A and B are shown apart, each in its own frame.
Chain A
Amino acid sequence: MHAVIAFSALPLFLGALLSDWAYSRSYEIQWTNFASWLIAAGLVLAGLALLWGTVDVLRSRAMRQHRGVAYLLLLLATVVIGFVNALVHARDGWAAMPMGLILSVVVLLLVAAASAVGLARLPGRTA
């Protein structure tokens, strides 16, 4: 179940990346506002999945054997770098660029990897 939540953060981080790209092309400030909120929402979902997944791994030996740790580490990296990205996006105007765009790419890749690893375990262990 938490892998599904992690996966649901992916479109939010994807939206943030597209918004960043739009801002970098158009200088239209509303795009970077969109990105800020999408990152915040993505962090809520990723954070929730991380919390739930941690409890799950601690409680279940089966989880630890099914790449659960790799999944958790990827999720942790998503949340940490996602948080840094949120702080970068809190800078005013163009000060969020280009670092915000770069971090948005990194966070999207991380959440995609976490989702892939997490969801790959699903058939063996129905959530």
Chain B
Amino acid sequence: MTPRSRRIAGSLAAVAVLGATLSLVVAQTGPTSEQHGANPQLPPPERGLLPNMRIAEPAGWGDRRPAVPQGWTIQAIATDLAIPRQTLVLPNGDILVAEGKGGGAPVLRPKDYIAGLIKAKGTTPVKSGNRLTLLRDADGDGTYEGRWVFAENLNAPYGLALIGDKLYVANQDALVRLDYAAGQTRATGAPVTVAKLPSAINHHWTKALAADAEGRFLYVGIGSNSNIGERGLAVEENRALVWQVDASSGAVRPFATGLRNPTALAFEPGSGQLWAVVNERDELGPDLVPDYLTSVREGAFYGWPYAYWGSNVDSRVQPQNDNKVRTTVRPDYALQSHSAPLGLSFVQPGLAAPFSEGAFVGMHGSWNRDQPVGYKVIFVPFTNGRPSGPPVDFVTGFQADGKTMGRPVGVTVDPKGALIVADDLSNTVWRVTPAR
């Protein structure tokens, strides 16, 4: 065993006061088979005295690069950003990058303090940018030589969407709008608030955003205010759901509920159906509960906090709600538990097989698991607008030798036939293109 195979079995309560975290050394085990698809194996819930925690130490990329499939190349098109999360490819090919970090939920228990210290080891020390950066490749040679700060003094911007000449930005506390004209490198005028978004506590602060094809409605993903209701259910009002926002009036209404943390939303181009990736609950074991990719059906309840993956009851929530458990809808497609999908983008028709129909999913990577999972971008193949097979690794190599060089967040298909990947650990935006 090497120091690298150290496992931080961290934490909790009284250690806070004693100011120490437990470290213990365990042997690495082989890779596990990944959960995926419509019928994942669900082991019984388990939780020892300590939750499994493993945070791979961050390290610089050096000469390393993420790995991509044969026939593809990857290149960093922007570095030294301030926590890039989601990206948007504008009609003229420019790329907007939302940079920032929100949250800051108060410590309620000694555990919150310790867990916060441990998880912070796996993230960048860079301060939240609270801005949008615009990247431009004017001559189309694949090098993004142009770089401007498009807008600043935003509040942890995350979701981005363009409807005509209006750019919508989902800050952690409000959906705002900026005017946009083709070729612009700097926003003119201050952001106009379209709708306030629930932001009290903001345990899960990211506000995912997607606009429908007609430009009539925007959809905002709003995460829960806790892992599993441990801050009380009163603070979960208007949380763990997808809101529908009328783009012209700013009127809001719940569209689908019980989605613990819907971190990315996108429309499937063939069917016009809204899809989401959702981060499910922690501390029930390494293979529970699967995160998922699902179509978001109007009025549907997806379980949180009372149930998971259909009507499996989560007994940590008391009093229980049998009615809610019965009405829980099963998601469409499981992703490996704890892999933390934060990015979702459907391919445009015309990309070469095997990527001609389906969705890319950026996985930020696990903490609540001995054997790390996620830390990669996968491709989920679709046929006729529905998932049709096991996921394929697309960008990997974000971890090596027990170190973590990068953590993928937002993924965006560039209509020019490329994939844009935001990496909030190395503060880089990557571009994956077919090799010429």
Contact surface of A with B, Cβ cutoff 8 Å? 27-30, 33, 36-37, 39-41, 43-44, 47, 82-84, 86-95, 97
- A36 adjacent to B315 (CB under 8 Å): no
Residues of B within 8 A of A97 (CB): 318
Instruction: Find the residue from A30, A41, A92 having the highest chain B CB count within 10 A.
Output: A92
Quick check: is B189 within 8 A (CB to CB) of the other chain? no
A33, A89, A90, A93: which contacts B316 (Cβ < 8 A)?
A93
CA distance A127 to B372 in the complex (A): 54
Size class of the contact patch on chain B = 20 to 34
- Of A86, A88, A91, A92, the residue contacting B110 (CB under 8 A) is A86
Bound-state CA distance A43–B319 (Å) is: 30
Of all chain A residues, the one with the shortest Cβ separation from B45 is: A95
Residues of chain A within 8 A (CB-CB) of B123 are none
A94 and B233 CA atoms in complex are apart in Å by 13
- CB nearest to B48 among chain A residues: A87
Residues 1 to 42 of chain B near chain A (Cβ within 8 Å): 11-14, 16-18
Asked if A36 and B49 make an inter-chain contact with CB atoms under 8 angstroms apart, the answer reads no
Residues in A whose Cβ lies below 8 Å from that of B230: 29, 92-93
Inside 8 A of B109's CB, which chain A residues have their CB? Answer: 33, 36-37, 89-90
Which A residues are CB-close (under 8 A) to B49?
Answer: 84, 87-88
Docked-complex contact B316 and A43, CB < 8 angstroms: no
Q: Which residues of B contact A82 (CB under 8 A)?
A: 14
- CB of B119, distance to nearest CB on chain A (Å): 14
Residue contact A43 to B283, C-beta cutoff 8 Å: no
B253 at the interface (CB under 8 A from A): no
* Those 10 A-B pairs whose CB atoms lie nearest each other, nearest first: A86-B13, A90-B12, A86-B14, A93-B316, A90-B111, A92-B230, A94-B318, A29-B232, A36-B109, A87-B49
B17 and A91 form a contact (CB under 8 A):
no
> Is chain B's binding surface mostly helix, strand, loop or mixed?
loop
Partner of A37, one of B110, B231, B317, B319: B110
In the complex, 8 of the A-B residue pairs with CB atoms within 8 angstroms, ordered by the A residue number, are A36-B13, A83-B13, A86-B110, A90-B109, A92-B283, A93-B228, A95-B47, A95-B315
A33: chain B residues at CB < 8 Å are 108-109
User: Is chain A's binding surface mostly helix, strand, loop or mixed?
Assistant: helix
Q: Residue B415 at the A interface, CB < 8 A?
A: no
Nearest-Cβ distance from residue A35 to partner chain B, whole angstroms: 9
Residues from chain B with a CB closer than 8 A to the CB of A40 are 13-14, 16-17, 110
Tell whether, in the assembled complex, residue B283 and residue A91 are in contact, meaning their CB atoms are under 8 Å apart. Answer: yes
Q: How far is the CB of B85 from chain A (nearest CB, A)?
A: 26
Residues of B contacting A95 with CB < 8 Å?
Answer: 47, 283, 315-316
Shortest beta-carbon distance from A84 to chain B in Å: 7
* Interface membership of B254, Cβ < 8 A: no
Closest to A34 in B: B109
Chain B residues in 8 Å Cβ range of A90: 11-13, 109-111
Given A27-B318, A29-B230, A94-B317, A87 contacting B13 (CB threshold 8 A): yes
A43 and B232 CA atoms in complex are apart in Å by 26
Q: Are B227 and A39 in contact (CB under 8 A)?
A: no
Also in contact, A89 and B228, with CB within 8 A (given A37-B109, A47-B18, A95-B283): no
Please give, as numbers and ranges, the residues of chain A lying within 8 Å of B315 by CB-CB distance.
94-95
CB-CB under 8 A from A89, the residues of chain B are 13, 109, 111
- CB-based contact A92/B13 at 8 Å: no
Mark out the residues of chain B between 209 and 263 whose CB falls within 8 Å of any chain A CB in the assembled complex: 226-232
If A40-B13, A43-B14, A47-B18 touch, does A91 touch B50 (CB 8 Å cutoff)? Answer: no
